[in-house]
Chains A and B, each alone.
Chain A
Amino acid sequence: MKSSVIVFPGSNCDRDIAIALEKMQFKNQMVWHKETKLPKTDLIVVPGGFSYGDYLRSGAIAGKSFIIDEVIKAANLGCLVLGICNGFQILTETGLLKGTLLKNKNLKFINKDVNLKVMNNYTRFTNKYKKEKILKINIAHNEGNFFTDANHIEELKKENLIAFKYCDEKGNINEDSNPNGSLDNIAGIFNTNKNILGMMPHPERMVDELISNKDGVNLFSSLFN
């Protein structure tokens, strides 16, 4: 499979995701934000970091960049799109995903490993995970507090569009296991067609036992199914 990682000025997880993708046998290429055309690709990744310094609002400027029009076009044609952390914020800015990411409830940057529960394993991104599998994945963000309106949350639940929820080691989903104040402990969501996944945690940081664990591996290998 072919993947493309979009690089904005200020992206800083672009190298990490590229390495993870290559490790998972993707043929990856980096796409600079000033490009006006996407290469032929099966997966577009919008990586983490601080695109355009997160000035104005996280993801806001990237959401209006040259290349993003092409990402939107491709996504609407069904191309797989994965937005991680700042990438998730950018996807909400473009409207490809609904909802928004507010400042963390404690108003501080949070970096730690958190537990996630796989909420829907019948998707292109999650089919290699067992249902309700508990993962340990790293988060690193200032604005990861997911918020959306009542209609959208209803839709997310009804259509099974919630990908991951924050939970504790035993899988309990409650306030104590919510690191950033996200609505309903939501850590990642799909669009209606489930070809777009936005998530705050960093699966690319979890593909190497020596560094962390391998809980992110199945997210990438699912895409080959």
Chain B
Amino acid sequence: MESTCFQVCSIKMKITNQIIEKHGLKLEEFKNIKKLLKREPNLLELGIFSAMWNEHCSYKSSRVHLKKLHTKGKQVIQGPGENAGVIDIGDNDAIVFKIESHNHPSYIEPFQGAATGVGGILRDVFTMGARPIALLNSIHFGSPEHSKTKSLLNGVVSGIGGYGNCIGIPTVAGETKFNETYNENILVNAMAVGHVKKDKIFYSKAKGLNKSVVYVGSKTGRDGIHGASMASAEFDESSAGKKPTVQVGDPFTEKLLMEACLELMKDNSIISIQDMGAAGLTSSSVEMASKGELGIELELDKVPCREENMTPYEMMLSESQERMLIILEDKKEQKAKKIFDKWDLDFVVIGRTTNTNNLTLKFNNKIVGEIPIEALASKAPVYDRQWIKKVNKKKEINLKDLKKIKIEEALIKILSSPNHSNKSWVTNQYDQSVMCDTVQKSGSDAAIIRIHNKDKAIAVTVDSSANYCKSHPITGGKQVVCENWRNLITVGAKPLAITNCLNFGNPENKEVMGEFVECLQGIKEACEFLGFPVVSGNVSFYNGTNNKNIYPTPVIGGVGLIKKLSYPLNHSFKKENNILLLIGKTFGHLEQSCFLKENYSINEGMPPEINLLNEKNNGETLIKLIEKNLILSSHDISNGGLITALSEMSISSNYGAKIQKPKKLTNLFKYFFGEDQARYIIEIDTDNLPKVEKILKDNNIYYENIGYTQKKYFEIEGELRISNKDLFKINNEWYNSY
């Protein structure tokens, strides 16, 4: 690896243009560094600037746009800017959650990359004082035929499972998708959700002078040096050589660290706490000092090291996992140390807070680096990059011009496709039940996790719609928020807030930047209208290889509240002869649909339109019905349209359905496969029909009575009749034969 030359060279070496470039800094940025320091930086300082000024840590290309997101609401306790977002769920309970990407490391080393992605996001949550209660993920691979996909899929899934299973936090929901856009750059986004008492939340802002800065957790090794810079560059042929920049995870140590931190958090010893994630010791110390408007002085000789002769440069830039930085109250050291001793973890005071407003680094009693904190944080570059609007037109697709197929054929094609196949091959590798509060596992629209010892629960889910976002970023951005909101509603939860992981290509490319700006615009509009704020998130740019950028893929992780948990609501049919209502209007939008993609490889046109007014009204009315216990099962209609949703409801139960053809004469393919939004299917008891219809009418909801449930067969009058057993088989074949 080339960067080893920095590790052995003296920090006094002359900074050449080549060294600057290798640190991922532009020459213009280097000039700026000299201006801020009023001198040339030494190599250690340059390394620190490169770690703090890269895209991953500084959000330099996204910051101006992220500010526009909707982040407020009376449920919000902490919005973006902390280790994770925090929302209020009543009774002094709060939920802490965040999603983060680990795309680049996972492509280079899938097992460790995915595992440390999970480890990192868990630390973000327990750093705030919360006990993690659920893990989710959104993973995207290239085409199944691509030579790397199979091993990447295996590695990522076992990495996610390996970490979560070992630490003992259930992995309860997620999505696994395939699209050739990710052939050379997979996406691995991990989300963690924790529970905390509202009055026991911990923050990263340092307070007070001369307070002890304590290093806890694993020892520092040479792994992951410059990981954050690696994650801020596009891939090329040499990327495989970046393996040593991928961190190695140890879920066992993280479990000890988590228990030790939560034990210490029981009283008030901690002033502030920050996990050492991307850019390790550098970013954690700078962030704490910056938020507290203080200086921080570290004696690097004291840093517990795993390897011999580590240099200050290596210590400051290592991304060794399972480490935390804590600022302690006076006289609490002994007590705190005792807890970490119990868990056999390192606990060393390595520095103190100062009034210099500098990051001061000492080694062998000499100052080896000194940088004003603001130069690393608030004065980091911000770019308002050029972007262009996406222009896309409707593309009228005439079904008559296409090869004739039967409805049954088209449905089978969708249900047996990699993106729609049953994912138990994946989810069975995750412990979904540990902690004994998982009320509803993956496979439903959203997972349900009971709040420990309470009769309330939260619903959690992640969603993305890269195809929609690619074809029309504003609509795509709106759609993914709306779909997430619907998925929470169908399990009976009131949607509260979201976290977003914004996976995009190279922001220096105007089109990519345009996709980013417009997706964000869509997300903002939907969040604002639905009262569904963003409380945390992460941006991952430079997803692409050799100038080929991935489809814009914002991933939304949502949390909703079920105030009183009686029985979990899901999408499995419950009984025969129940009425099925289709909520929301069907127009038959087939552009960008699964139907055209899976059957004709057509991937053109616009995504379905989003009508936020209908979304809100339909969703809120559904909640009213659920609260009155009038709904037996419900499912949102998304990819694959009405027929796919109905099939899924059949497959997951012992019952099927008998569906009538639409009364108004529409094209059957448009009706059954169209992906119009704001739609749901609900199963209701025949006796309750008048009550349900009244509520729907009172709220001006468009609905259709489409049929009823029956035993064992899924049927569309005069068009198709398939047994549940066969549907199940069709839906379960792909993974097992891949």
Q: Which A residues fall within an 8 A CB radius of B?
A: 9-10, 12-13, 15-16, 19-20, 34, 48-50, 52-55, 108-112, 138, 140, 142, 202, 204-205, 208, 210-212
Known contacts A53-B252, A210-B565; A205/B436 CB under 8 A: yes
Distance, CA A44 to CA B162, complexed state (A): 28
> 1/0 contact trace for B299-324 toward A, CB 8 Å?
00000000000000000000000000
Residues of A within 8 A of B428 (CB): 108, 110-112
**Cβ-closest 5 pairs across A and B:** A12-B168, A53-B252, A50-B166, A140-B431, A16-B436
Most buried by A among B161, B428, B450: B428
Distance, CA A208 to CA B439, complexed state (A): 10
Our pick among B158, B168, B253, B439 for the contact of A13 (Cβ within 8 Å) is B168
> 1/0 contact trace for B413-448 toward A, CB 8 Å?
000000000001001111111111111000000000
**Shortest beta-carbon distance from B720 to chain A in Å:** 29
Question: In the complex, given contacts A48-B434, A110-B429, A210-B568, what are 5 additional A-B residue pairs having Cβ atoms less than 8 angstroms apart?
Answer: A9-B252, A50-B252, A108-B158, A140-B431, A205-B434
A9 touches B434 (CB 8 A): no
Is B167 engaged at the interface, CB distance under 8 Å to the other chain?
Answer: yes
Distance, CA A202 to CA B568, complexed state (A): 22
**In the complex, residue of chain B having the shortest beta-carbon distance to the beta carbon of A205:** B433
Our pick among A10, A15, A208, A211 for the contact of B252 (Cβ within 8 Å) is A10
Distance, CA A53 to CA B450, complexed state (A): 27
15 A-B residue pairings within 8 Å (CB atoms): A9-B255, A12-B167, A16-B435, A19-B436, A20-B436, A34-B342, A50-B165, A53-B166, A53-B252, A108-B158, A109-B158, A110-B428, A111-B433, A211-B433, A211-B439
Residues of B within 8 A of A10 (CB): 166, 252, 255-256
**Shortest beta-carbon distance from B493 to chain A in Å:** 16
**In the complex, residue of chain A having the shortest beta-carbon distance to the beta carbon of B161:** A109
A111 touches B251 (CB 8 A): no
B433 touches A15 (CB 8 A): no
A53 touches B250 (CB 8 A): yes
Distance, CA A211 to CA B434, complexed state (A): 11
**Shortest beta-carbon distance from A47 to chain B in Å:** 10
Residues of B within 8 A of A55 (CB): 252
Residues of B within 8 A of A142 (CB): 165
Distance, CA A48 to CA B344, complexed state (A): 21
Is B30 engaged at the interface, CB distance under 8 Å to the other chain?
Answer: no
Residues of A within 8 A of B738 (CB): none
**Shortest beta-carbon distance from A146 to chain B in Å:** 19
Our pick among B161, B251, B437 for the contact of A211 (Cβ within 8 Å) is B437
B429 touches A109 (CB 8 A): yes
**Shortest beta-carbon distance from B261 to chain A in Å:** 14
Distance, CA A159 to CA B450, complexed state (A): 43
Distance, CA A15 to CA B436, complexed state (A): 9
Q: Which of B553-611 contact A (CB under 8 A)?
A: 565, 567-568
A204 touches B168 (CB 8 A): no
A9 touches B343 (CB 8 A): yes
B429 touches A12 (CB 8 A): no
Residues of A within 8 A of B429 (CB): 108-111
Our pick among B255, B432, B450, B568 for the contact of A111 (Cβ within 8 Å) is B432
Most buried by B among A13, A48, A204: A13
Distance, CA A52 to CA B252, complexed state (A): 7
**In the complex, residue of chain B having the shortest beta-carbon distance to the beta carbon of A15:** B435
Distance, CA A80 to CA B318, complexed state (A): 48
**In the complex, residue of chain B having the shortest beta-carbon distance to the beta carbon of A11:** B168
Most buried by B among A12, A20, A111, A212: A111
A12 touches B434 (CB 8 A): yes
Our pick among B251, B342, B433 for the contact of A202 (Cβ within 8 Å) is B433
| Count, chain B residues at interface, CB 8 A | 34
Distance, CA A211 to CA B452, complexed state (A): 12
**In the complex, residue of chain A having the shortest beta-carbon distance to the beta carbon of B436:** A16
Residues of B within 8 A of A111 (CB): 165, 427-433
**Shortest beta-carbon distance from B672 to chain A in Å:** 32
**Shortest beta-carbon distance from B489 to chain A in Å:** 21
**Shortest beta-carbon distance from A118 to chain B in Å:** 21
Distance, CA A12 to CA B450, complexed state (A): 18
Residues of A within 8 A of B252 (CB): 9-10, 50, 52-55
**In the complex, residue of chain A having the shortest beta-carbon distance to the beta carbon of B166:** A50
Residues of B within 8 A of A9 (CB): 252, 255-256, 343-344
B437 touches A13 (CB 8 A): no
B161 touches A16 (CB 8 A): no
Residues of B within 8 A of A16 (CB): 434-436
**Shortest beta-carbon distance from B111 to chain A in Å:** 13
Distance, CA A110 to CA B430, complexed state (A): 7
A210 touches B439 (CB 8 A): yes
Distance, CA A12 to CA B169, complexed state (A): 8
A140 touches B255 (CB 8 A): no
A210 touches B255 (CB 8 A): no
Our pick among A12, A208, A212 for the contact of B255 (Cβ within 8 Å) is A12
Distance, CA A140 to CA B166, complexed state (A): 11
Distance, CA A204 to CA B431, complexed state (A): 14
Distance, CA A5 to CA B127, complexed state (A): 28
**Shortest beta-carbon distance from B688 to chain A in Å:** 24
Distance, CA A110 to CA B431, complexed state (A): 8
**In the complex, residue of chain A having the shortest beta-carbon distance to the beta carbon of B252:** A53
Most buried by A among B158, B165, B251, B432: B165
Distance, CA A127 to CA B246, complexed state (A): 53
Residues of B within 8 A of A12 (CB): 166-168, 255, 434
**Shortest beta-carbon distance from A74 to chain B in Å:** 24
Most buried by B among A15, A52, A140: A140
**Shortest beta-carbon distance from B422 to chain A in Å:** 13
Distance, CA A208 to CA B342, complexed state (A): 33
Distance, CA A20 to CA B435, complexed state (A): 11
B450 touches A211 (CB 8 A): yes
Most buried by A among B252, B256, B438: B252
Distance, CA A158 to CA B73, complexed state (A): 67
Distance, CA A54 to CA B165, complexed state (A): 12
Q: Which of B175-211 contact A (CB under 8 A)?
A: none
Our pick among A34, A52, A210 for the contact of B567 (Cβ within 8 Å) is A210
Distance, CA A204 to CA B424, complexed state (A): 23
Residues of B within 8 A of A53 (CB): 166, 250-253
**Shortest beta-carbon distance from B113 to chain A in Å:** 18
**Shortest beta-carbon distance from B551 to chain A in Å:** 30
Residues of A within 8 A of B167 (CB): 12
Residues of A within 8 A of B161 (CB): 109
Residues of A within 8 A of B568 (CB): 210
Distance, CA A209 to CA B162, complexed state (A): 28
**Shortest beta-carbon distance from B273 to chain A in Å:** 21
Distance, CA A79 to CA B253, complexed state (A): 32
Residues of B within 8 A of A138 (CB): 433
Distance, CA A205 to CA B170, complexed state (A): 13
> 1/0 contact trace for B229-246 toward A, CB 8 Å?
000000000000000000
Residues of B within 8 A of A110 (CB): 428-429
Our pick among A109, A205, A210, A211 for the contact of B165 (Cβ within 8 Å) is A109
Distance, CA A140 to CA B342, complexed state (A): 28
Residues of B within 8 A of A202 (CB): 433
Residues of B within 8 A of A54 (CB): 166, 252
Residues of A within 8 A of B165 (CB): 50, 109, 111, 140, 142
Known contacts A9-B344, A10-B255, A110-B429; A49/B436 CB under 8 A: no
A204 touches B434 (CB 8 A): no
A211 touches B436 (CB 8 A): yes
Distance, CA A208 to CA B437, complexed state (A): 10
B166 touches A13 (CB 8 A): no
Distance, CA A108 to CA B435, complexed state (A): 21
Residues of A within 8 A of B342 (CB): 34
Residues of A within 8 A of B424 (CB): 112
**In the complex, residue of chain A having the shortest beta-carbon distance to the beta carbon of B440:** A211
**In the complex, residue of chain A having the shortest beta-carbon distance to the beta carbon of B457:** A210
Distance, CA A205 to CA B343, complexed state (A): 27
**Shortest beta-carbon distance from B726 to chain A in Å:** 19
Residues of A within 8 A of B166 (CB): 10, 12, 50, 53-54
